[in-house]
């Protein structure tokens, strides 16, 4: 394996076996000139790194840290208006300043790129085969078409597209997101490049698909021997994959080094904060996360000193004097841009020493047993089927999408149920069905003792008061033309709060979610993503609901911001005695916040139980695979874990397999004998107790297994 060879002292000139660097970037600056009166945006300010053949370099940072812009500069794909200075050398040849024609000859042949969103990355009107052939032939115009096509099929096989010769003629929309990302990788490696830049290649994908794609990337690297630059915000993905890493903040690298050094001997407070704010899958105790306070600085108006100083808990007056240089600390090419790094090194400080740990919320309702608490939400056998339509010229119904197909769970007062599953498993549909208060197509929904579909208008109005929702995207769920005051006051007005008490209540709510009440007169777009989500929470809390439905409330936020919102939700629950229905695809977040977890697959719940039980000892093979696929931000642990990589994609909910729906992808099913398989094929398993607690799993061969 190439990774193991290159892991030793990759930055040392003495590492002869890795040879000369393939890609070298030095003192790169990228500035986007402001239009009209707006100031210039200094997106990248002095980035430098080099990668050798077979090496994997990770670039980590939050949105706006300049990690993507610097790699787009290396590809020569920035808009003409961008001012780029510094040096980008490929095999020693300077790329900056090459014209489009010369650069095009390098792009895709010597240096190639895999982008974030595979759904929009392929031209919708050409077949995937044609698009790969195009990538081959643009650099080898003399290669005959049939040879290029044969090579394309070969590439499709390499990236794991089943039945490649046939799928060659498919259009992109006929492929799932994971399959399309495989095609993107096939295009990237089509001409045996020396460097592959991967820009958040798995961010848009589900976690089981992410595990597949990471495997494909490793295979592609073995095949081509290329250097890989892995850009990501996910500290888990980097941990097990890369040799060296570079942490970026506000357009500059702030800590660089071998992956173990950066994780275990962190010397820059920002990196510490980043690591501390990630909810962990592998820790049992539920300590509050360590958020980094404040927001990243605006790249058009940077503070004079260290850009992190305003958010840094150990900043001193000296930090504002000037921007610190990247200086070697602790040897082995480990550098950090912090004037207090030597001090941190000497004292051996960790995140816990640097960041004030927020007070743990008192355990809510812990005294009363679950059975004795009131049930806030009871769902039984909920069904939601959509008609499946086909055709553009002639619309007609061709089938049924079994979006939600018999889902049941309950939430007790003061409890958080995490509803998890991959996209398309029906978790959002379940949520919308509950919120609609209409009579479901099948099954029952009881909210606070009232049955959906049997209420009259006034009763529905009353129930809505007690059940509020927080949406996923804080950018689009707030009306941009309403003042924050009006956003929060709207539910209060609707439910008839007297005018004279309105102002006091809104200010109280803003204060409750950690916003300055003086900002009530601003518009939502003046706030950052995390602050907007807090506004959304304030709006949801306005009517003092008893159940809060949270639809992926933190998935659109950066980790350092996300930690603050999670802590807020934890604290609000304890203070106000709320119950949460928390829908998420990020299991680490769920482990942190939920009391109970329900895992959904293809419109059914496959496992449900107490959070610790499910994470420690999952019984359903799907839950096991899901948990196993999540990378842990701990390089040592991550390297020693063996991931269960599921085969294939989620089947279409319009055509679920017979019997157990997880059967075609189930690793356990694959190992069963013919006779043992019969129940899986014929009988759809019900949720059955696995022994102890109220933990149930829907598997004929349920068996606990630790995978984290």
Nearer to other proteins, 389 or 670 (CB): 389
Rounded (5°) CA angle 503-506-507:
85
Distance of CA 108 to the CA centre of its chain: 27
Percentages (nearest 5) of helix, strand, coil residues in the chain? 35, 20, 45
Nearer to other proteins, 133 or 583 (CB): 133
Query: Min. distance of Cβ 172 from other proteins in angstroms?
Result: 8
Terminal Cα distance for the chain, rounded: 24
Nearer to other proteins, 74 or 463 (CB): 74
Nearer to other proteins, 37 or 173 (CB): 173
Of 98-106, 272-280, 552-560, 695-703: span binding other proteins (CB under 8 A): 98-106
Nearer to other proteins, 124 or 498 (CB): 124
- Nearest to 379, CA basis, from 401, 405, 403, 411: 411
Site string for other proteins, 353-392 (x = CB under 8 A): ------------------------------------xxxx
Distance of CA 101 to the CA centre of its chain: 36
393 near other proteins, judged by CB under 8 A: yes
Nearer to other proteins, 174 or 682 (CB): 174
Site string for other proteins, 411-440 (x = CB under 8 A): ------------------------------
Query: Min. distance of Cβ 690 from other proteins in angstroms?
Result: 42
Rounded (5°) CA angle 591-593-596:
70
Alpha helices in 99-144 (DSSP H): 100-106, 128-137
Query: Min. distance of Cβ 117 from other proteins in angstroms?
Result: 6
DSSP for 40-73 reads PEEEEEEEEEEEETT-EEEEE--TTSSHHHHHHH
- Nearest to 487, CA basis, from 541, 530, 553, 408: 541
637 near other proteins, judged by CB under 8 A: no
Rounded (5°) CA angle 98-99-101:
115
- Those residues whose C-beta lies under 8 Å from the C-beta of residue 307, and which sit 6 or more positions away, are 249, 250, 251, 252, 297, 323
Rounded to 5 degrees, φ, ψ at 188 are -65, -35
Site string for other proteins, 487-506 (x = CB under 8 A): --------------------
Of 185-193, 577-585, 664-672, 673-681: span binding other proteins (CB under 8 A): 185-193
Nearer to other proteins, 424 or 618 (CB): 424
Q: Burial letters for 333-353: b for 16+ Cβ neighbours within 10 Å, e otherwise?
A: ebbbbbbbbeebeeeebebee
Nearer to other proteins, 216 or 515 (CB): 216
Please list every residue from 254 through 283 that binds other proteins, using CB under 8 A. none
Query: Min. distance of Cβ 392 from other proteins in angstroms?
Result: 4
Query: Min. distance of Cβ 154 from other proteins in angstroms?
Result: 17
- Those residues whose C-beta lies under 8 Å from the C-beta of residue 331, and which sit 6 or more positions away, are none
Checking phi first, is residue 143 left (phi over 0); if not, alpha (psi -120 to 50) or beta? beta
Query: Min. distance of Cβ 388 from other proteins in angstroms?
Result: 9
Assign 371 to helix, strand or coil.
Answer: helix
- Selected from 86, 91, 98, 139, the binder of other proteins by CB under 8 A is 139
Nearer to other proteins, 139 or 450 (CB): 139
Nearer to other proteins, 105 or 462 (CB): 105
- Selected from 60, 135, 376, 404, the binder of other proteins by CB under 8 A is 135
Size of the site for other proteins (CB under 8 A): 39
- Nearest to 191, CA basis, from 141, 230, 229: 141
| Dist. CA 622–CA 535, nearest whole Å | 36
- What burial class does residue 104 get, using C-beta atoms within 10 Å of its C-beta: 0-12 exposed, 13-18 middle, 19+ buried? middle
128 near other proteins, judged by CB under 8 A: no
- Selected from 77, 368, 462, 475, the binder of other proteins by CB under 8 A is 77
Query: Min. distance of Cβ 23 from other proteins in angstroms?
Result: 15
Nearer to other proteins, 103 or 645 (CB): 103
- Selected from 14, 38, 125, 359, the binder of other proteins by CB under 8 A is 125
Query: Min. distance of Cβ 136 from other proteins in angstroms?
Result: 9
- Selected from 8, 104, 332, 528, the binder of other proteins by CB under 8 A is 104
- Selected from 37, 101, 346, 458, the binder of other proteins by CB under 8 A is 101
Of 180-188, 406-414, 463-471, 657-665: span binding other proteins (CB under 8 A): 180-188
Distance of CA 686 to the CA centre of its chain: 31
Nearer to other proteins, 113 or 548 (CB): 113
Of 170-178, 298-306, 463-471, 559-567: span binding other proteins (CB under 8 A): 170-178
Nearer to other proteins, 142 or 173 (CB): 173
Task: Check residue 694 and report its DSSP letter.
Answer: T
Please list every residue from 47 through 76 that binds other proteins, using CB under 8 A. 75
- Selected from 15, 84, 96, 138, the binder of other proteins by CB under 8 A is 138
Long-range own/partner contacts, residues 304-309 (CB < 8 A, 24 or more apart): 306/337, 306/338, 306/339, 307/249, 307/250, 307/251, 307/252, 308/249, 308/250, 308/254, 308/269, 308/270
Q: Are strands 56-60 and 41-52 parallel, antiparallel or unpaired?
A: unpaired
173 near other proteins, judged by CB under 8 A: yes
Q: Burial letters for 167-192: b for 16+ Cβ neighbours within 10 Å, e otherwise?
A: bbebbbeebbbbbbbbbbbbbbbbbe
Of 110-118, 297-305, 453-461, 638-646: span binding other proteins (CB under 8 A): 110-118
652 near other proteins, judged by CB under 8 A: no
36 near other proteins, judged by CB under 8 A: no
195 near other proteins, judged by CB under 8 A: no
Contact 660, 687 (CB under 8 A): no
121 near other proteins, judged by CB under 8 A: yes
Sheet holding 450-451, edge to edge: 396-412, 375-390, 442-447, 450-451
Nearer to other proteins, 78 or 339 (CB): 78
Q: Are strands 327-328 and 252-258 parallel, antiparallel or unpaired?
A: unpaired
Rounded to 5 degrees, φ, ψ at 551 are -100, 100
| Dist. CA 120–CA 459, nearest whole Å | 45
Query: Min. distance of Cβ 229 from other proteins in angstroms?
Result: 14
Number of CB atoms found within 10 A of residue 459's CB: 12
| Dist. CA 473–CA 561, nearest whole Å | 14
142 near other proteins, judged by CB under 8 A: no
Nearer to other proteins, 163 or 454 (CB): 163
- Selected from 123, 441, 647, 678, the binder of other proteins by CB under 8 A is 123
Query: Min. distance of Cβ 622 from other proteins in angstroms?
Result: 29
Q: Are strands 375-390 and 442-447 parallel, antiparallel or unpaired?
A: antiparallel
Nearer to other proteins, 188 or 290 (CB): 188
| Dist. CA 486–CA 599, nearest whole Å | 37
Contact 206, 176 (CB under 8 A): no
DSSP for 642-662 reads ------S-PPPTTSPPSSSTT
- Selected from 108, 296, 307, 530, the binder of other proteins by CB under 8 A is 108
Enumerate binding residues for other proteins (CB under 8 A).
75, 77, 100-101, 104-109, 112-113, 115, 117, 120-125, 134-135, 138-139, 171, 173-174, 184, 187-188, 190-191, 389-394, 396
């Amino acid at each position: 394996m190439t990774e193991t060879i290159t892991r030793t002292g990759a930055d040392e000139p003495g590492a002869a076996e890795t040879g000369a660097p393939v890609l070298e970037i030095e003192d790169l600056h990228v500035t986007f000139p402001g239009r009209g009166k707006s100031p210039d945006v200094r997106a990248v300010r002095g980035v430098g790194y080099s990668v050798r053949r077979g090496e994997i370099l990770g670039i980590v940072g939050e949105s706006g840290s300049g990690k993507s812009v610097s790699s787009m500069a290396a590809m020569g794909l920035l808009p003409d208006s961008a001012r780029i200075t510094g040096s980008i050398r490929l095999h020693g040849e300077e790329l900056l300043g090459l014209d489009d024609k010369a650069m095009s000859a390098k792009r895709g042949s010597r240096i190639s790129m895999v982008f974030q969103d595979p759904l929009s990355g392929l031209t919708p009107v050409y077949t995937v085969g044609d698009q790969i052939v195009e990538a081959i032939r643009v650099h080898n115009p003399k290669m005959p078409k049939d040879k290029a096509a044969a090579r394309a099929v070969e590439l499709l096989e390499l990236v794991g597209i089943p039945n490649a010769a046939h799928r060659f003629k498919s259009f992109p929309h006929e492929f799932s997101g994971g399959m399309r990302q495989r095609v993107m990788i096939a295009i990237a490696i089509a001409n045996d490049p020396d460097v592959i830049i991967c820009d958040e290649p798995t961010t848009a994908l589900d976690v089981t698909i992410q595990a597949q794609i990471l495997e494909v990337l490793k295979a592609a690297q073995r095949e081509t021997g290329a250097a890989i630059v892995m850009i990501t915000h996910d500290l888990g993905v980097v941990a097990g994959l890369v040799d060296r890493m570079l942490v970026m903040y506000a357009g500059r690298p702030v800590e660089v080094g071998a992956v173990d050094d950066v994780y275990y001997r962190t010397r820059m407070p920002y990196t510490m904060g980043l690591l501390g704010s990630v909810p962990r899958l592998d820790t049992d105790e539920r300590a509050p996360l360590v958020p980094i306070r404040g927001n990243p600085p605006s790249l058009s108006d940077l503070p004079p000193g260290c850009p992190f100083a305003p958010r840094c808990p150990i900043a001193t007056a000296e930090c504002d004097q000037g921007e610190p240089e990247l200086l070697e600390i602790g040897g082995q090419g480990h550098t950090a841009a912090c004037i207090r790094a030597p001090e941190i090194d000497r004292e051996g400080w960790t995140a816990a020493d640097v960041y004030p740990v927020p007070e743990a919320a008192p355990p809510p309702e812990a005294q009363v047993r679950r059975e004795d608490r009131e049930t806030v939400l009871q769902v039984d056998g909920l069904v939601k089927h959509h008609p499946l339509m086909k055709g553009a010229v002639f619309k007609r119904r061709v089938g049924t999408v079994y979006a939600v197909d018999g889902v049941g769970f309950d939430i007790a007062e003061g409890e958080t149920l995490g509803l998890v599953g991959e996209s398309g498993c029906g978790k959002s549909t379940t949520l919308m069905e509950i919120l609609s208060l209409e009579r479901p197509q099948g099954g029952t929904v009881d909210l606070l003792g009232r049955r959906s579909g049997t209420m009259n208008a006034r009763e529905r109005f009353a129930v809505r008061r007690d059940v509020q929702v927080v949406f996923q995207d804080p950018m689009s769920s707030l009306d941009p033309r309403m003042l924050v005051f009006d956003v929060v006051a709207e539910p209060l007005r609707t439910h008839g709060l007297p005018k004279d008490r309105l102002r006091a209540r809104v200010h109280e709510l803003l204060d409750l979610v950690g916003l300055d009440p003086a900002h009530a007169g601003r518009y939502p777009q003046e706030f950052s993503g995390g602050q907007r989500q807090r506004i959304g929470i304030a709006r949801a809390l306005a009517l003092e609901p008893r159940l809060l439905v949270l639809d992926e409330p933190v998935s659109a936020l950066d980790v350092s911001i996300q930690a603050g919102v999670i802590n807020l939700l934890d604290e609000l629950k304890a203070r106000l005695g709320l119950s949460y229905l928390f829908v998420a695809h990020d299991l680490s977040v769920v482990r942190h916040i939920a009391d109970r977890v329900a895992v959904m697959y293809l419109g059914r719940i496959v496992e449900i139980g107490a959070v610790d039980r499910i994470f420690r000892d999952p019984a359903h093979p799907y839950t096991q695979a899901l948990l196993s696929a999540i990378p842990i931000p701990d390089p040592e642990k991550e390297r020693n874990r063996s991931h269960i990589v599921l085969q294939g994609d989620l089947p279409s909910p319009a055509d679920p397999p017979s019997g157990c729906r997880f059967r075609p992808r189930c690793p356990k099913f694959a190992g069963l004998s013919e006779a043992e398989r019969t129940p899986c094929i014929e009988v759809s398993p019900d949720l059955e107790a696995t022994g102890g607690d109220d933990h149930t799993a829907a598997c004929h061969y349920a068996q606990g297994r630790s995978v984290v």
